[in-house]
């Protein structure tokens, strides 16, 4: 043990005293640096004052036993050295700046790709999380801000983890460049952020269990969380029910304003955003940039609105699957989402009723994709595709409907069982194009006195097998009857 006192040129060496409480008492409030080279232990709860800096070196360690150690002075130790031993005690860095970076290895985490360490690694990482100093720097509904001064920095290695790490520390920053968590549990989430916010996760790789049923790499309902340079890996063929990133929203302030950048996902489903209750602005907005999706399924939004995707490189592998799906979830619609500057190898599917989504500047030529806009109220621009932009199915007009709805439809067919005269198309959108296939010979198109313009103003009764091509200018439908049966 060595104590360097700031105000005197004296070095006190005491290798016989291993009681850290007694050592700190002897130092008192003097400005000093305590060097610990051997094992010491606590005999009671202890607070190291801000005037005392602590350096752990050599074989130095601190056995907490069942006591609480609060460190208010600056603290330094090698990042892969085991420092803290404990039974039920814990460490708390009590002030900002006490430890600029906290290593989970100080608490016993070992990244040697050994599955037998999964339980110990889980415990150690949680000890590291609870040791970090936290302060609330803002208050009020919707404006609470949290900041944790030290960063949790995970040294390079592969760390087996046997249970869900609950990220219950607001404002925490975790950095894991060169580090991977291998999650051994076959359910739950590797990292569950719950409803916390103002966190940062950088550089970590998450490896999911290949025999899992339903597992998430990252699961959250919180807000204002940032994720950068994150990879989530797994066996895509065997993990069809697993999700790399799952965001759930249940109100206007949950599952919102999260940012993901430089993310690689290779698992069951890359990204899933779900509005979990009722219609409303839930699970939105979130921002995704530079996402590489090599998963079995791609991006799935269920009742989620106002999310933005840029530079999405989708390499999804499911036969007949989709790179992006915008779906309803009960009464909740996926509206107002932006997907741009991306490369798709599969279809983009927009379920009927989902509106005002913008799909632009897409390269969707590989593997024969088809963009599927199920509503004309979605916006498409600069699509580099060799394939038509059309609906997934041919819609059938209800028998006897004289003004059938064409909302979300591009190709329709008649199926009248009694003579019917069509006078207009309801739910039309300016710029919409429509093809009508006639499967009966008892439908008449009214071209006199309606907004259907064509056939020189003469009503037309086509034969079964004829068709009509139409374009809507916001007021009138301009129609070109095509005789396919003459």
pLDDT tens-digit readout, 63-108: 999 999 999 899 999 999 999 998 888 898 876 667 878 999 999 9
- Is it the case that residue 14 has pLDDT exceeding 90? no
Q: What local confidence, expressed as pLDDT, does residue 333 receive?
A: 85
* Residues 315 and 461 placed together within one structural domain of the fold: no
* Residues 327 and 345 placed together within one structural domain of the fold: yes
Q: What local confidence, expressed as pLDDT, does residue 435 receive?
A: 93
Range of the domain at 474: 395-482
Region for 330 from its dihedrals, namely left if φ exceeds 0, alpha if ψ lies in -120 to 50, beta otherwise: left
pLDDT tens-digit readout, 119-157: 999 999 999 988 887 655 555 444 445 555 568 999 999
Structure tokens at 25: 């008492």
Burial 437-467 (b: 16+ CB within 10 A, else e): bbebeebbbebeebebebbeeeebebeeebb
* Residues 345 and 420 placed together within one structural domain of the fold: no
Asked whether residue 53 is domain-assigned, the answer is: no
Q: Which residue has the tokens 């998963």?
A: 295
Q: What local confidence, expressed as pLDDT, does residue 235 receive?
A: 58
Helix, strand, coil shares of the chain as percentages rounded to 5? Answer: 5, 45, 50
* Strand residue runs (E) in 90-225: 90-93, 101-102, 134-138, 145-148, 151-153, 157-161, 165-166, 173-175, 179-183, 187-194, 200-202, 205-207, 214-220
- Where is pLDDT greater, at 346 or 271? 271
* Residue 233 near residue 207 (C-beta atoms within 8 A): yes
Q: What local confidence, expressed as pLDDT, does residue 251 receive?
A: 61
- Is it the case that residue 354 has pLDDT exceeding 90? no
Asked whether residue 296 is domain-assigned, the answer is: yes
- Find the mean pLDDT for residues 188-192: 91
- Is it the case that residue 5 has pLDDT exceeding 90? no
Asked whether residue 162 is domain-assigned, the answer is: no
Q: Of the ranges 111-120, 217-226, 381-390, which one carries the lowest mean pLDDT score?
A: 381-390
Q: What local confidence, expressed as pLDDT, does residue 388 receive?
A: 40
Instruction: Give the model's confidence band at 8: pLDDT under 50 very low, under 70 low, under 90 confident, else very high.
Output: very low
* Residues 194 and 293 placed together within one structural domain of the fold: yes
Asked whether residue 170 is domain-assigned, the answer is: no
- Is it the case that residue 246 has pLDDT exceeding 50? yes
Asked whether residue 431 is domain-assigned, the answer is: yes
- Is it the case that residue 281 has pLDDT exceeding 60? no
The fraction of the chain above a pLDDT of 70, given in percent, is 81
Asked whether residue 338 is domain-assigned, the answer is: yes
The DSSP 8-state label assigned to residue 5 in this structure reads E
* Residues 228 and 247 placed together within one structural domain of the fold: yes
Q: Among 392, 410, 438, where does a domain finish?
A: 392
- Find the mean pLDDT for residues 37-60: 91
CATH of the domain at 414: 2.60.120
Sign of the C-alpha dihedral, residues 35, 36, 41, 47? positive
Asked whether residue 372 is domain-assigned, the answer is: yes
Give the dihedral of Cα atoms 15, 19, 21, 26; nearest 10 deg: -30
CA gap 276, 254 in Å, rounded: 10
- Find the mean pLDDT for residues 279-298: 79
Decide the pairing of beta strands 243-249 and 226-233: unpaired
Residue-averaged pLDDT of the chain: 83
Decide the pairing of beta strands 379-384 and 358-363: parallel
* Residues 237 and 284 placed together within one structural domain of the fold: yes
- Find the mean pLDDT for residues 254-278: 83
Q: What local confidence, expressed as pLDDT, does residue 282 receive?
A: 59
* Residue 44 near residue 64 (C-beta atoms within 8 A): no
The fraction of the chain above a pLDDT of 90, given in percent, is 42
Instruction: Give the model's confidence band at 455: pLDDT under 50 very low, under 70 low, under 90 confident, else very high.
Output: very high
Q: What local confidence, expressed as pLDDT, does residue 248 receive?
A: 86
* Residues 270 and 419 placed together within one structural domain of the fold: no
Total domain count for the chain? 2
* Residues 432 and 463 placed together within one structural domain of the fold: yes
Q: Of the ranges 95-99, 215-219, 246-250, 448-452, which one carries the lowest mean pLDDT score?
A: 95-99
- Where is pLDDT greater, at 219 or 354? 219
- Is it the case that residue 237 has pLDDT exceeding 80? no
Asked whether residue 169 is domain-assigned, the answer is: no
Greatest mean pLDDT among 141-145, 238-242, 374-378, 417-421: 417-421
Q: What local confidence, expressed as pLDDT, does residue 287 receive?
A: 92
Q: What local confidence, expressed as pLDDT, does residue 96 receive?
A: 63
Q: Among 375, 392, 409, where does a domain finish?
A: 392
* Residues 442 and 317 placed together within one structural domain of the fold: no
Q: What local confidence, expressed as pLDDT, does residue 270 receive?
A: 87
* Residues 354 and 367 placed together within one structural domain of the fold: yes
Terminal CA-CA length for the chain: 104
Structure tokens at 412: 């329709």
CA gap 333, 373 in Å, rounded: 14
CA 483 from chain center: how many Å?
52
In sequence order, which ranges of 1-45 are alpha helices (DSSP H)? Answer: 20-27
214: exposed, middle or buried (Cβ count in 10 Å: 0-12, 13-18, 19+) = middle
* Residues 212 and 229 placed together within one structural domain of the fold: yes
Spatial neighbors of 47 by CB under 8 A, at least 6 apart, are 69, 70, 72, 94
* Residues 369 and 444 placed together within one structural domain of the fold: no
- Is it the case that residue 217 has pLDDT exceeding 70? yes
Q: How far is CA 135 from CA 24, 298, 468, in A?
A: 26, 38, 68
Q: What local confidence, expressed as pLDDT, does residue 255 receive?
A: 82
Q: What local confidence, expressed as pLDDT, does residue 94 receive?
A: 76
- Find the mean pLDDT for residues 387-391: 42
Q: Among 377, 392, 407, where does a domain finish?
A: 392
């Amino acid at each position: 043990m060595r104590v360097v006192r700031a105000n005197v040129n004296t070095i006190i060496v005491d290798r016989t005293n291993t009681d850290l409480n007694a050592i700190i008492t002897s130092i008192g409030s003097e400005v000093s640096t305590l060097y610990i080279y051997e094992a010491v232990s606590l005999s009671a709860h202890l607070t190291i004052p801000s005037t005392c800096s602590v350096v752990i070196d050599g074989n130095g360690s601190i056995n907490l036993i069942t006591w609480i150690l609060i460190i208010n002075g600056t603290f330094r130790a090698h990042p892969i050295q085991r420092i803290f031993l404990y039974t039920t005690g814990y460490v708390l860095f009590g002030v900002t700046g006490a430890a600029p970076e906290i290593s989970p290895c100080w608490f016993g985490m070992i990244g040697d790709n050994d599955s037998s360490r999964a339980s110990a690694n889980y415990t150690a990482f949680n000890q590291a999380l609870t040791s970090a100093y936290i302060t609330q720097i803002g208050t009020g509904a919707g404006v609470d801000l949290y900041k944790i001064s030290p960063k949790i920095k995970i040294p390079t290695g592969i760390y087996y983890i046997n249970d869900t790490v609950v990220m219950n520390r607001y404002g925490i920053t975790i950095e894991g460049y060169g580090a991977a968590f291998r999650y051994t549990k076959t359910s739950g989430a590797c990292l569950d952020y719950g409803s916390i916010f103002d966190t940062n996760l950088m550089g970590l790789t998450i490896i999911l269990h290949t025999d899992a049923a339903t597992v998430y790499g990252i699961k959250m309902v919180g807000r204002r969380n940032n994720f950068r340079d994150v990879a989530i890996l797994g066996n895509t063929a065997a993990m069809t029910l697993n999700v790399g990133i799952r965001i759930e929203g249940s109100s206007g302030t949950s599952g919102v304003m999260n940012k993901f950048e430089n993310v690689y996902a290779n698992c069951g489903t890359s990204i899933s955003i779900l509005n979990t209750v009722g219609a409303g602005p839930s699970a939105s907005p979130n921002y995704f940039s530079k996402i590489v999706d090599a998963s079995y399924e791609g991006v799935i939004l269920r009742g989620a609105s106002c999310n933005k995707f840029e530079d999405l490189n989708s390499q999804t592998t499911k036969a007949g699957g989709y790179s992006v799906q915008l779906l309803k979830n009960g009464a909740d619609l996926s509206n107002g989402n932006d997907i741009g500057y991306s490369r798709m190898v599969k279809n983009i599917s927009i379920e009927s009723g989902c509106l005002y989504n913008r799909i632009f500047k897409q390269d969707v030529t590989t593997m024969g994709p088809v963009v599927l806009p199920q509503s004309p109220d979605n916006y498409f621009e600069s699509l580099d595709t060799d394939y038509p932009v059309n609906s997934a199915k041919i819609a059938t007009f209800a028998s006897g409907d004289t003004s059938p709805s064409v909302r979300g439809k591009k190709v329709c067919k008649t199926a009248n069982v009694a003579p019917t005269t069509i006078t207009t198309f309801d739910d039309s959108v300016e710029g919409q194009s429509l093809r009508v296939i006639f499967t009966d010979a008892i439908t008449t198109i009214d071209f006199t006195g309606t907004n259907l313009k064509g056939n020189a103003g003469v009503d037309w009764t086509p034969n079964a097998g004829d068709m009509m091509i139409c374009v809507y200018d916001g007021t009138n439908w301009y129609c070109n009857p095509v005789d396919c049966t003459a």
